[in-house]
Amino acid sequence: MHPFLTRQRRMGVLLLLFVLLLAACAPTVAPAAPAGEAAPAADEAAAQEAGPAATLRIGILGDESTLTPYTYVTGYPGWNMLMLQYDSLYQLDLEGVPQPWLVSAASTSDDGLTITLDLKEGIAWHDGEPFSAEDVKFSIEYYKQYERSRFTRALLPVESVAVEGNNRVVLTLSAPSPSFELGALADVPILPQHIWAEITTPEEQPFDPVVNTGAGPYKLVEYAPDQFYRFEANADYFAGAPAVNELVFVKFADDAGSLAALRSGEVDMLARPVAPEQIEPLAAAPDMKISQGPLYTTQMLNYDMTKPPFDRPEVRQAMSLAIDRQDLVDTIYLGAATLGSAGWIHPASPLFNAEVVTESDPARAQQILEDAGITDGDGDGVRELDGTPISFEFLVNGDDSLRLRLAELVSEMLAEVGIQATVSAVEQATWEEAVWPGFDVTQGRNYEMAMWGWSAPVQADAVRFGTLIHSDPAFGNLNLTGYANSEADALAEAIATEIDAAARAEMIGELQTIVARDLPFIMLLYPDGAYAYNASVYDGWAFMTGQGVFHKLSLLPEAARP
């Protein structure tokens, strides 16, 4: 049977199974009271002023612990939920560009080493205490003292912090940091000194609304582990009262349960993008809308480049050519994705190098292998390298159905050029520990090839490109493949300190060319985000380029958005 027909038949079976599973799964909705109660009569006027929805229910799949900067679990949606409570000094606008938020004016010295920030006046914490420059200084020093990898790493360039009066902060950097606005100022949550100064074990703090005090648009007032979170609007928020009075995040066991709850009206929106096959039927449902756009999340192949066959450039080149990315997008994502670029950077990025060509050519792949002496000597359909069949385990986290289906189709494509990749679906923890043991690249790797992906912030900040490919683990803390190239290392280091935007863009383009040639990983595609919501309950969702719709700006009045 033709491989394409085989794939089509398997897709039909998978879709049928999905529909049957959806019908069978009852939603595991958290207790409705008190989070599900209508707003009391005394609050009706306030609820109407807050926006069209007094209460908005959002479905999530995982528990995010107690949602402090030291306990939230995932980059998405955990960090997004965290930042409903807290603010950062800068805020991404809907184009994904960092803009001053808690800051009224900012300046950087000519050498890029001194950043002066004047804070807005009149901002208060949830408990009414005034926000000041001392809180900013305290927060930076606290993250440096009590490590929280995302925030501590972002603040590494800061050598010292000084306060001038109540509203001016002066940061001195050890070296120029061109992505400091995006990676630190727009990402690191500011803590209230009067609460956190007494906390010396931040990762061990139980849930306490006092500890969760921030200056953001919402207050977390109730948390039931593995059930729900309830937030109340901060009516005194400096940027304007939030558009929804109450948010309830309901935790579900799986996609099927959350989707059933959306259809039945038990939740009004899903934080996680819906599967491609659900876009059309959901969009046709009464009051349901889909907000769709490109995300900077990635689907890619990682492999251990220090071991055969992945240490051979001919094998990596042949694998990339053997993969029909358009087929992956059409078959698995039903067109709702962008073709992967061999150079890593998303084509929607202003830093994308359009001269990087990503091809699909199985015939050329086979010729490259033949020319390299990598042939099928025994006629079993699997090529040999130095007498050893090119056959390996292909790891994938089985909980992610789209990623599993990608792995299966990629395996078929590789088989057509004589490369045998046997898909092994494992639990997420097992998969992560094999590819990224202890989330520490100095511990090496325990896999051959694996499906992988990074969340949007890694792609959104092109300066972080170097962390994926630099050979020194201190710099290349996301280099999961063991790639080592001195030319790429030098470029990555230069990009990280180049403050001239044009020169930096040129170097990022050059690095894309090197990566497309060496293929330290194989980019498959960038999924689109398709977010389903009940527009009759709330219709204020705003798509942020590369990031999706679930962010604090979607829940603020349009006039408050930068």
Q: What is the CATH number of the domain that holds 554?
A: 3.40.190
CA distance 13 to 33: 40
In a domain, 78, yes or no: no
Confirm whether pTM is higher than 0.85: no
The conformation of residue 188, written as its DSSP 8-state character, comes to: S
Q: What is the CATH number of the domain that holds 473?
A: 3.10.105.10
Q: What is the CATH number of the domain that holds 200?
A: 3.90.76.10
Q: Domain boundary residue among 161, 191, 209?
A: 209
378 and 429: one domain? yes
Torsion sign across C-alpha atoms 80, 84, 89, 91: positive
CA distance 222 to 232: 9
245 and 316: one domain? no
In a domain, 294, yes or no: no
154 and 249: one domain? no
In a domain, 246, yes or no: yes
556 and 420: one domain? no
In a domain, 348, yes or no: yes
**Which among 470, 352, 332, 486 is positioned nearest to 409, based on CA atoms?**
332
Neighbour count for residue 20 (Cβ, 10 Å) = 11
358 and 386: one domain? yes
197 and 220: one domain? no
Q: Beta strands 158-164 and 168-173: pairing type?
A: antiparallel
In a domain, 276, yes or no: no
**Which among 197, 191, 250 is positioned nearest to 216, based on CA atoms?**
191
205 and 99: one domain? yes
346 and 460: one domain? yes
In a domain, 82, yes or no: no
Q: Are 123 and 211 in contact (CB under 8 A)?
A: no
184 and 231: one domain? no
Q: Are 139 and 191 in contact (CB under 8 A)?
A: yes
Q: In total, how many domains does the chain have?
A: 3
Domain span at residue 510?
299-527
Listed in order, strand segments (DSSP E) in 23-89 are 53-60
The stretches of 27-164 forming alpha helices (DSSP H) are: 44-50, 78-85, 133-145, 149-154
In a domain, 63, yes or no: yes
CA distance 90 to 85: 15
List per-residue pLDDT tens for the chain, 562 residues long. 333 333 343 444 333 333 333 333 333 333 333 333 333 333 434 434 434 479 999 999 989 999 999 999 888 899 999 999 999 999 999 999 999 999 999 999 999 999 999 999 999 999 999 999 999 999 999 999 999 988 998 999 999 999 998 899 999 999 999 989 999 999 999 999 999 999 999 999 999 999 999 999 999 999 999 999 999 999 999 999 999 999 999 999 888 899 999 999 999 999 999 989 999 999 999 999 999 988 899 999 999 999 999 999 999 999 999 999 999 999 999 999 999 999 999 998 989 999 999 999 999 999 999 999 999 999 999 999 999 999 999 999 988 888 999 999 999 999 999 999 999 999 988 999 999 998 899 999 999 999 999 988 888 888 889 999 999 999 999 999 999 999 999 999 999 989 898 999 999 999 999 999 999 999 999 999 999 999 999 999 999 988 999 999 999 999 889 8
348 and 449: one domain? yes
CA distance 528 to 516: 22
Residue 238, both tokens: 């400096």
CA distance 148 to 330: 40
Amino acid symbol at 499 = I
In a domain, 408, yes or no: yes
227 and 202: one domain? no
Residue 318, both tokens: 């042949």
CA angle 311, 317, 318 (to 5 degrees): 105
476 and 562: one domain? no
What three-state secondary structure class fits 66?
A: coil
Return the exposure string of 228-260: e unless at least 16 CB atoms fall within 10 Å of the residue's CB, then b.
bbbbbbbeebbbebbbbbbbbbbbbebbbbbbb
CA 350 to chain centre: 19
